[in-house]
Amino acid sequence: NIVTDELTYDRKKLTPSEQEVLHMLGRGMKYQEIAEERCTSVATARKQCEVLLLKLGLQNREQLIAWAVQNGYGCEELE
């Protein structure tokens, strides 16, 4: 398990925008797809992921995707 209990994070501290990006990552979307879906640039999508990495204390995109899936941001659609 890449993500340990000590890396759990309170969802309430994530903005709706950050949660949306996590849902997209959890569904396997690439930076380009996230940018297109959110009507932003690829650079913005990358920056949003970098902010999430820092906020969650993770090291790379793969860990961020694993965290998203393990914390319920996988295949489900946004409500």
Q: Confirm if 30 and 24 have CB atoms less than 8 A apart.
A: no
Residue 44 within any structural domain of the chain: yes
Residue 33 within any structural domain of the chain: yes
Burial of residue 39, with CB atoms counted within 10 A of its CB: 0-12 exposed, 13-18 middle, 19 or more buried: exposed
Residue 6 within any structural domain of the chain: no
Give the CA distances from residue 75 to residues 7, 29, 32, 53, in Å, rounded to whole numbers and listed in that order. 21, 11, 19, 20
Model confidence at 71: pLDDT above 70: yes
As for how many domains the chain has, the answer is: 1
Domain that holds residue 40: 15-70
Closest CA to 74 of 4, 22, 5: 22
- Identify the CATH number of the domain in which residue 57 sits: 1.10.10.10
Residue 24 within any structural domain of the chain: yes
Query: Phi, psi at residue 15, to the nearest 5°?
Result: -70, 160
pLDDT digits (tens, 9 = 90+) for 32-59: 999 999 999 999 999 999 999 999 999 9
